[in-house]
A = this chain, B = another copy of it.
């Protein structure tokens, strides 16, 4: 399925590019100048994920957050990294810290979803 360029896609991608934090759908909707439907935002985000332009993080609040980060821009560097969720400013960011682990025999890991929760330096 060939992708098409639309104002919606562009707006969402620009927002994520400019943001240092991972954003949820509702955060994106609020921060956008133009009015975009909720379902559309989800669809755009999921397409970006499929195309590996952004990646998805699920936080302990059960919500999905999306971010562009080094992983995508520099695939040769940090693949699986930790995310940090600040309870004070309620934001999620990508940490440039790789997730290191070993698994029992015959276990195959395909992806990771690792979140550290606490207080970030801005709030300390």
**A→B interface (CB under 8 Å):** 56, 58-64, 82, 84, 87, 95, 97, 99-121, 124
Across chains A and B, which 7 residue pairs bring their CB atoms closest together, nearest first?
A106-B121, A114-B114, A62-B62, A110-B118, A109-B118, A108-B118, A106-B124
Residues of chain B with a CB closer than 8 A to A121's CB: 104-107
Residues of chain B with a CB closer than 8 A to A116's CB: 101, 103, 107, 109, 111-112
Residues of chain B with a CB closer than 8 A to A61's CB: 58
Question: Which of B107, B111, B117 meets A110, CB within 8 Å?
Answer: B117
Are A111 and B118 also in contact (CB < 8 A) when A58-B58, A58-B59 are? yes
How many angstroms between the C-alpha atoms of A30 and B23 in the bound complex? 35
A sample of 8 inter-chain contacts (CB < 8 A) reads A56-B60, A82-B101, A82-B103, A97-B101, A100-B100, A106-B124, A107-B118, A113-B117
